[in-house]
Amino acid sequence: MKVTVVGAGNVGATCADVLATREIANEIVLVDIKEGVAQGKALDIWQKAPILGYDSRTVGVTSDYARTAGSDVVVITSGLPRKPGMTRDDLISVNAGIVKSVTEQVVAHSPNAIIIIVSNPLDVMTYQAHLTAKLPREKVFGMAGILDTARYRAFLAEALNVSPKDIQAVLMGGHGDTMVPLPRYTTVGGIPVTELIGKAELDAIVERTKNGGGELVKLMGTSAWYAPGAAAAQMVEAIVRDQRRVFPVCLELQGEYGINGVYLGTPVILGKNGVERVIELQLNDDEKALLETSRGHVKEVMEALDKMTAVA
């Protein structure tokens, strides 16, 4: 299996490192527009192989897409991260152009690849890539839900003093303040979380999760990379190993939840064909209202992108 990761910055390099260390792909190509960055990081990851004992081969190139030809999966992380005081949506004008040009190159060289978008603002960059790639939604989708769910699970594990492995959860909606955590679907070793934690504490964890990206931006001056890189690698693993994992991913809703043509997170089954099935949850009225707010916000940013594209 061959996997390309575009953008060898914090998230892209971490993703490539997890893919190599866990031998998720035989060949990993890192691409970055900055001369030397992808080559250097790929070489460093390869030189770690004898120490940790893996044989996945990592190579780096500067926008030489011929080297990516025939990739089975491509992860797009290229683009600016936000700085303190910015929202993800502030990145739209610069990152839309980057995601568009990268997607064109990716599809030209790997027409059968499954494409995973990571660049922000995630839901609208997934829209941009899907428009550009002209592939079915099952093959072009975005990573955010695994990250947001991981944050929620980590906060809950800390509060309950249990292993994060035993917390199962799902989140929906856009990747931002309007994301829709679903405590009703959260369990701890099979036990509904509401039996183990009070409402006020759970509400505070939900709130912290919604602002989880911003919390890290404030601490570090740039956005997170360890969990995001690992989350993207976990999606790649589900595809290349045909694991049929159930994960929340961002894709174009086509009638699910009564929503059409808006890019939002929902649980899906991920396997060798990409999205094997979209799972439509039966939401209650409160959850539907939260999803509607999220839909409205993402739709607004999609329209902003449409306007920018029309002017350009």
Ligand X SMILES: O=C(O)C[C@H](O)C(=O)O
Ligand Y SMILES: NC(=O)c1ccc[n+]([C@@H]2O[C@H](COP(=O)([O-])OP(=O)(O)OC[C@H]3O[C@@H](n4cnc5c(N)ncnc54)[C@H](O)[C@@H]3O)[C@@H](O)[C@H]2O)c1
Contact 167, 188 (CB under 8 A): yes
Amino acid code (one letter) for 301: V
274 binds ligand X (CB under 6 A): no
Sequence-distant (≥ 6) Cβ neighbours of residue 161 within 8 angstroms: none
Going through the chain in order, the beta strands assigned E by DSSP cover 2-6, 27-31, 57-61, 73-76, 114-117, 140-142, 167-168, 171-172, 180-181, 187-188, 191-192, 245-254, 260-271, 274-278
118 sits near ligand X (criterion: CB under 6 A): no
Active site residue 130: no
- Which C-beta is closer to ligand X: that of 52 or that of 219? 219
Residue 32 makes contact with ligand Y by CB under 6 A: yes
79 is annotated as contributing to ligand binding: no
174 near ligand Y, rule: CB under 6 A: no
Cα Rg of the chain, angstroms: 19
Nearest approach, Cβ of residue 23 and ligand X (Å) = 26
Q: Which span (130-138, 216-224, 241-249, 295-303) binds ligand X, by CB under 6 A?
A: 216-224
Identified binder of ligand Y from the candidate list 4, 58, 132, 223, rule CB under 6 A: 223
Q: Are 44 and 13 in contact (CB under 8 A)?
A: no
Of 7, 152, 177, 173, the closest CA to residue 89 belongs to 177
Residue 119 as a binder of ligand X (CB under 6 A): the answer is no
**Least distance in angstroms from the C-beta of 227 to ligand Y:** 8
Give the whole-angstrom CA distance, residue 183 versus residue 199. 10
CB of 62 to ligand Y, least distance (A): 8
**Structure tokens, 35:** 């001369």
Using CB under 6 A as the binding rule, whether residue 78 contacts ligand Y is answered as yes
Least CB distance from residue 129 to ligand X, whole Å?
A: 16
Q: Is 228 in the site for ligand X (CB under 6 A)?
A: yes
Q: Which candidate in 109, 130, 175, 297 is catalytic?
A: 175
Q: Was 198 annotated as part of a binding site?
A: no
Residue 56 interface partner, choices ligand X, ligand Y, none, CB cut-off 5-8 Å depending on type: none
Is residue 273 part of an annotated ligand binding site?
no
Q: Which of 1, 22, 33, 57 binds ligand Y (CB under 6 A)?
A: 33
Whole-number Cα distances in Å, 201 to 28, 160, 197: 42, 10, 7
d(CA 159, CA 163): 11
Q: Which of positions 167-196 make contact with ligand X (CB under 6 A)? A: 175
Which residue is at the shortest CB distance from ligand X? Answer: 213
Between 224 and 262, CB nearer to ligand Y:
224
Cα–Cα distance for residue pair 244/137, rounded to 1 Å: 17
Alpha carbon dihedral 294, 235, 83, 300, in 10-degree steps, equals: -30
Residue 284 assigned as binding residue: no
Using the rule CB under 6 A, which residue among 14, 110, 223, 266 binds ligand X? 223
Amino acid in the structure at residue 14: T
Question: Residue 8 interacts with ligand Y (CB under 6 A)?
Answer: yes
Cα angle 225-202-89, degrees, rounded to a multiple of 5: 40
Which residues, numbered 112-151, are part of the site for ligand Y (CB under 6 A)?
118-120, 122, 143-144, 147
Q: Which residues bind ligand X (CB under 6 A)?
A: 81-82, 88, 120, 147, 175, 213, 216-217, 223-224, 228
Interface contacts to ligand Y, rule CB under 6 A = 6-12, 31-34, 37, 63, 77-82, 91, 95, 98, 101-102, 118-120, 122, 143-144, 147, 175, 222-225, 228
